Structure 1
Amino acid sequence: MANSGASDAQVYVIDDDESARDSLEFLLDVAGIRVRSFPSADAFLKASPPLPGACVVTDVRMPGLSGIELAEKVKERDATVPVVVITGHADVPLAIQAMKAGAADFIEKPFDDEAILSAIRKALQRKNEDDVLASEQSEVRERLASLSTRESEVVEGLVAGKANKVIAFDLDISPRTVEVYRANAMMKMQAKTLSDLVRMVTIAKLA
């Protein structure tokens, strides 16, 4: 599970320390993770490599743009890209700023190999989960949009835990009519059970 999604991902390492770059590049390569490194945030932004499916690993303190400023730039281009920040002990306040700028995690120097690999894999896993959720949300919202006004009202009642008779009273229709709307809504939503329906609506309402 720890490697889930990592083999298909691209990690970009941005650090002005050549030895640190080479070491991390070697580590990721051995771990079977595609990696490309850059000596500065400016060089990375100038190259403008593809971001979908990627993870950015950046040092905080670098000549030119800092790691915090890079995190902000990356998030402007693609808010889904995880950014892992590497920081010296004295840079923890800066790392916290980076987290506020959208960084997924920060690792203090000196770090061991497993610590950085774990942080990268977790960031990639979260991104995969976010991508799956976003795709499911889109599908569910399309299905919800296909419901008629009455079907939507019935679904809202069901999700609120109301019985058919209560929904019928609220909408001033017969319980039998509620059952018809319910059946139609379940079919359009592709929900096999009421719990399926509740789960779908809950997912659709997530920000």
Structure 2
Amino acid sequence: MTATSGEPAGTSANDEQVVLIVDDDAMLRNGLGNLFRSVGMQVALFSSAAELLESRLPDAPCCLVLDVRLRGPSGLDLQTRLAQMGIHIPIIFMTGYGDIAMSVAAMKAGAEDFMVKPFRDQDLLDAVSAALEKDRQRRQAMNRIDDIRASYATLSPRESEVMGMAASGLLNKQIASEIGISEVTVKIHRGQAMRKMKARTFADLVLMAQQLGICKADR
């Protein structure tokens, strides 16, 4: 991750949280950086949307504190571009009083909050803390899905078939009849699926199947 004009971003580990600040006003940008550092937060400072897009984003919970009006692409342009790239960092916009309409558009496009200048430092800190916690939870959920997919990849084709059918509500005897195997074999495949998926209960297995999208709604 790079920061602008020699402004240190700090190194980020997976368990750290990083506030990304994009503002073309160097005084305000540095002031915000100092504010977040004063409460122990890691920061990365950028003078433009392009500079952030050219940087390697940290592999850590993040939020983006973004001025609506920037030289070059605007904050709204950056929000759109990040969405197109599949980057879903929570965004807190900073706006002037004349930018309320733009702020409404930003919120409709998924921004977490917008702060009207001048704003209280504590209000911004509270908004950023909430956004960082939301991103932390999002990353945990994504990691959980990745773990589930990795476990699912270890299932045999028959085990994955039985798992999907069982999670869709079919009884063992119904599964056995539909795919032409014995009910005992169905139980074995189902048990193997639970073991490989690390499901403690059948309800856990159903939830995993739903997250994987392998439940059949019409069953």
TM-score bucket (shorter structure): 0.7 to 0.9
Match of 1:62 in 2: 70
**Deviating more after overlay: 176-185 vs 150-159:** 150-159
Q: Secondary structure at the match of 1:80?
A: coil
2:173 equivalent among 162, 165, 190:
165
Distance, in Å, in 2 between the alignment partners of 1:7 and 1:118 is 20
Residue ranges of structure 2 left out of the alignment (5+ in a row): 1-12, 215-219
- Cα 1:38–1:175, aligned 2, differ >3 Å: closer, same or farther? closer
**Deviating more after overlay: 138-147 vs 13-22:** 13-22
- Cα 1:127–1:143, aligned 2, differ >3 Å: closer, same or farther? same
Distance, in Å, in 2 between the alignment partners of 1:7 and 1:115 is 24
Q: Secondary structure at the match of 1:11?
A: strand
Distance, in Å, in 2 between the alignment partners of 1:6 and 1:140 is 20
Distance, in Å, in 2 between the alignment partners of 1:181 and 1:68 is 51
Q: Give yes or no for the alignment of 1:152 onto 2:160.
A: yes
**Deviating more after overlay: 105-114 vs 180-189:** 105-114
Match of 1:50 in 2: 56
Q: Which amino acid aligns with 2:142?
A: A
Instruction: List structure 1 runs of 4+ shifted beyond 6 angstroms.
Output: none
Match of 1:28 in 2: 36
Matches within 5 A, 1:1-207: 8-42=16-50, 44-45=51-52, 48-52=54-58, 53=60, 54-75=62-83, 79-99=87-107, 101=109, 103-205=111-213
Q: Which amino acid aligns with 1:156?
A: G
- 1:70 Cα deviation after fit: 2.3
Distance, in Å, in 2 between the alignment partners of 1:6 and 1:175 is 46
TM-score, scaled to structure 2: 0.76
User: How much identity, in percent, do the aligned residues show?
Assistant: 37
Residue ranges of structure 1 left out of the alignment (5+ in a row): none
Matched residue pairs, number?
200
- Cα 1:32–1:163, aligned 2, differ >3 Å: closer, same or farther? same
Distance, in Å, in 2 between the alignment partners of 1:110 and 1:9 is 25
